[in-house]
């Protein structure tokens, strides 16, 4: 059984209190490793190490920091197969997805921000003949990064890369549910020559280490990705502490399909948007609105394709749909399928737990599920399920589609499928979401602002937004003469 360790001051350490929790493989339901359940003592040690390391790291030139980070990205690429297998085992996601999406993006994140920091410039504001202002952007100091379980190494690196590139020291907490690739990553940091204490990784639960990390007085900024309720809790416990907060939270994303779309391409992509990673991507389109003239045709083609999705052992190369991340999460998803039927919905395909034979007989598998016949305001269409469940509904006009799309507390992402240029721009403008994809989904340019509105979050990640978040602006005003 593999024992995961914390990474503090360049060393792999056991937690002070010697407390461990079980790490379960979702595809088998078996405990396969132990995770430190770190507490305040581990945090204090990490904060001391981070404070000590930060000044030296901030004073290291951008080029040198970038070179170390690029080396780390190269080492991730060299270990991509090993990391993809670890991610598939730890999370339950198909290994092909882990390799092509998660691990590919982990190294891309690090390389992107390594390069970005060498191009980062600040503003200057001339007051005609009187004075000139220029803005300095200094690192914040010690910052905290907390990430969820759905895209473990992908989202972990998405946060720590800009934090490190801009000269901060980081204390990071991956999800206790999927800690393995962050642990393997800590070993790769040692290999890449990341200076001791610049990055510290503490494993454990939200209450034992996540909470203390957010309220530690020496941690001046928190970048958090996770559920809306946890985000609200973080804003509550940090109120009055004047920390910078970036909160990337939940979603209930609409997909708007217009009658003039490219039919086949749209069906293919709407299936992908609903069910990739077993529907456990914050950007998944779980509310699908279809213009009435093509509703029946689209529904039929959509269901046919959903039925073809291959459910299987995440470690098999041709598996398209793996296990849900935990038993508790599987039960939550199944309870929403039950709720949808109580609310008057009809399950068109799926709806059940799947029992596979052999190695995965005790795994947490649920069929891709499509439901119709629900109102927009029912709980199934309002609450984030975060699993392989989507609903389909007809609409008649552009205005109705926009109203339905905007009819939840969330506002993370959306996709619009149409060949009408004017309509595409108008709908994009009216949708309340941080991200609108037109005739595509999850097409990502890392320079673009990423984040949500309403209960989906506060602040933006990505590109210069992330570098701005992890730096403090200081204006210097110089009077002429
Ligand atoms: P959670 O909010 O449960 O957890 C996220 C992280 O926060 C985990 O590391 C968790 O630790 C930790 N945590 C839990 N409680 C606290 C606390 N009180 N203080 C500090 N940290 C805490 O989310 P999930 O892991 O369940 O992830 C799923 C959610 O993430 C979904 O709502 C999804 O939409 C959202 N998400 C949003 C994205 C975005 O970009 N907007 C992207 C991806 C996911 P632990 O789990 O170890 O207890």
pLDDT at position 481: 87
**Three-state secondary structure along 72-86?**
HHHHHHHCHHHHHHH
Q: Are residues 23 and 112 in the same domain?
A: yes
Q: CA-to-CA distance for 334 and 128, rounded, in angstroms?
A: 65
Considering the domain architecture, whether residues 189 and 275 belong to the same structural domain is answered as no
Three-state secondary structure call for residue 402: helix
Neighbours of 422 (CB within 10 A): 9
Distances (CA, A) of 210 to 42, 72, 124, 383: 12, 26, 38, 24
- Identify whether 63 is a catalytic site residue: no
Neighbouring residues of 162: CB distance < 8 A, sequence distance ≥ 6: 113, 116, 461, 466, 467, 469, 470
Assess whether 140 and 220 both reside in one domain: yes
Q: Is residue 297, in this structure, part of any structural domain at all?
A: yes
Q: Decide: 177 in ligand 1 pocket, CB within 6 A.
A: yes
| pLDDT tens-digit map of 222-273 | 999 999 999 999 999 999 999 999 999 999 999 999 999 999 999 999 999 9
Rounded distance from Cα 39 to ligand 1 centre (Å): 18
Instruction: Tell whether 161 and 233 lie within a shared domain.
Output: yes
First vs last C-alpha separation in the chain: 71
Same domain? 210 vs 287: no
pTM reported for the whole predicted model: 0.97
Specify the number of domains making up the chain.
2
Q: Which atom of ligand 1 is nearest to the CA of 250?
A: 34
34, 126: one domain = yes
Contact (Cβ atoms closer than 8 angstroms) between residue 447 and residue 462: yes
Dist CA 248 CA 53 (whole Å): 28
Domain CATH code at residue 369: 3.40.309.10
Answer for the pair 176, 208: CB distance below 8 angstroms, yes or no.
no
| 76 and 190 part of one domain | yes
The residue written with tokens 């990739």 in the block is 276
Within a domain: 450: no
CATH number for the domain that contains residue 151: 3.40.605.10
Residue 166 lies in a domain: yes
Q: Which atom number of ligand 1 is nearest to the Cα of residue 148?
A: 25
In short, whether 230's Cβ falls inside 6 Å of ligand 1 is yes
Same domain, 218 and 267: no
CA of 330 to the centre of ligand 1 (A): 16
Model pLDDT, residue 227? 98
Instruction: Report which protein residue has its CA nearest ligand 1's atom 11.
Output: 206
Domain carrying residue 357: 253-445
Q: To test the ligand 1 pocket, which listed residue (226, 281, 332, 383) has its Cβ within 8 A of the most ligand atoms?
A: 226
Do 207 and 320 have their domain in common?
no
Is 95 a domain residue?
yes
The parts of the chain modelled with pLDDT lower than 70 are none
Distance CA 131, CA 100 (A): 52
Positive/negative CA dihedral, 421, 424, 427, 433: negative
Which residue among the candidates 85, 176, 248, 461 is catalytic per the annotation?
Answer: 248
pLDDT of 401 reads: 98
- The number of residues in the chain equals 481
List residues bridging with 457 in a β-sheet.
Answer: 248
Whole-angstrom distance, CA of residue 111 vs CA of residue 66: 8
The CA 185 to ligand 1 mean position distance, Å, reads 20
Q: Exposed e or buried b for every residue in 344-363, given b needs 16+ CB within 10 A?
A: ebebbbbbeebebeeebeeb
Measured CA to CA in angstroms, residue 464 lies from 117, 225, 367 at distances of 9, 18, 40
Instruction: In whole angstroms, give the CA distance from residue 406 to residue 424.
Output: 16
Q: Is there an atom of ligand 1 within 6 Å of 384 CB?
A: yes
Mark whether 231 and 360 lie in a shared domain.
Answer: no
Four-CA torsion 207, 218, 248, 440, nearest 10 degrees = -130
How many Å lie between the centroid of ligand 1 and the Cα of residue 173?
Answer: 10
């Amino acid at each position: 059984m593999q024992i995961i360790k914390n990474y503090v001051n360049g060393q792999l350490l056991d937690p002070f209190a010697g407390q461990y929790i079980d790490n379960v493989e979702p595809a088998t339901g078996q405990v396969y490793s132990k995770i430190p359940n770190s507490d305040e003592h581990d945090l204090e040690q990490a904060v001391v190490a981070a404070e000590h390391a930060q000044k030296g790291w901030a004073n290291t030139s951008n080029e040198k920091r970038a070179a170390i980070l690029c080396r780390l990205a190269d080492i991730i690429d060299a270990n991509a197969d090993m990391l993809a297998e670890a991610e598939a085992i730890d999370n339950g996601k198909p290994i092909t997805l882990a390799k092509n999406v998660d691990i590919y993006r982990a190294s891309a994140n690090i390389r992107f921000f390594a390069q970005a920091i060498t191009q980062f410039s600040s503003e200057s504001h001339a007051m005609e003949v009187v004075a000139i202002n220029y803005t300095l952007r200094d690192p914040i100091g010690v910052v905290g990064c907390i990430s969820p379980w759905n895209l473990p190494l992908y989202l972990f690196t998405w946060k720590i890369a800009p934090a490190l590139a801009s000269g901060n020291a980081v204390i990071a907490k991956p999800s206790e549910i999927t800690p393995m690739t962050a642990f393997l990553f800590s070993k790769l940091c040692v290999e890449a020559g990341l200076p001791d204490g610049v990055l510290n990784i503490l494993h454990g639960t939200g209450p034992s280490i996540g909470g203390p990390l957010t309220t530690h007085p020496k941690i001046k900024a928190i970048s958090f990705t996770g559920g809306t309720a946890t985000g609200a809790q973080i804003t509550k416990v940090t109120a009055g502490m004047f920390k910078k907060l970036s909160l990337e939270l939940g979603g209930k994303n609409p997909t708007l399909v217009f009658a003039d779309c490219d039919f086949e391409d749209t069906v293919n992509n709407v299936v992908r948007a609903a069910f990739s990673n077993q529907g456990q991507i914050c950007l998944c389109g779980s509310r699908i609105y279809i213009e009435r003239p093509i509703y029946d045709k689209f529904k039929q083609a959509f269901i046919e394709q959903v039925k073809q999705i291959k459910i299987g052992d995440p470690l098999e190369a041709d598996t398209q749909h793996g296990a849900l991340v935990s038993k508790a999460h599987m039960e939550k998803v199944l309870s929403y399928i039950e709720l949808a039927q109580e609310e008057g919905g009809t399950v068109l395909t799926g709806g059940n737990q799947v029992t596979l034979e052999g190695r995965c007989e005790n795994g947490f598998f649920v069929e891709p599920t499509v439901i119709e016949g629900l109102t927009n305001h029912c709980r199934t269409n309002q609450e984030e399920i975060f699993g392989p469940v989507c609903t389909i509904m007809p609409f008649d006009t552009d205005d109705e589609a926009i109203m339905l799309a905007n009819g939840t507390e969330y506002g993370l992402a959306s996709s619009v499928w149409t060949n009408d240029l004017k309509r595409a721009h108008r709908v994009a403008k009216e949708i309340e979401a941080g991200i609108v994809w037109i005739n595509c989904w999850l097409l990502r340019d890392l320079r673009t602002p990423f984040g949500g509105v309403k209960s989906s979050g506060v602040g933006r990640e990505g590109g210069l937004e992330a570098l701005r978040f992890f730096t403090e602006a200081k204006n210097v005003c110089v009077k002429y003469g």
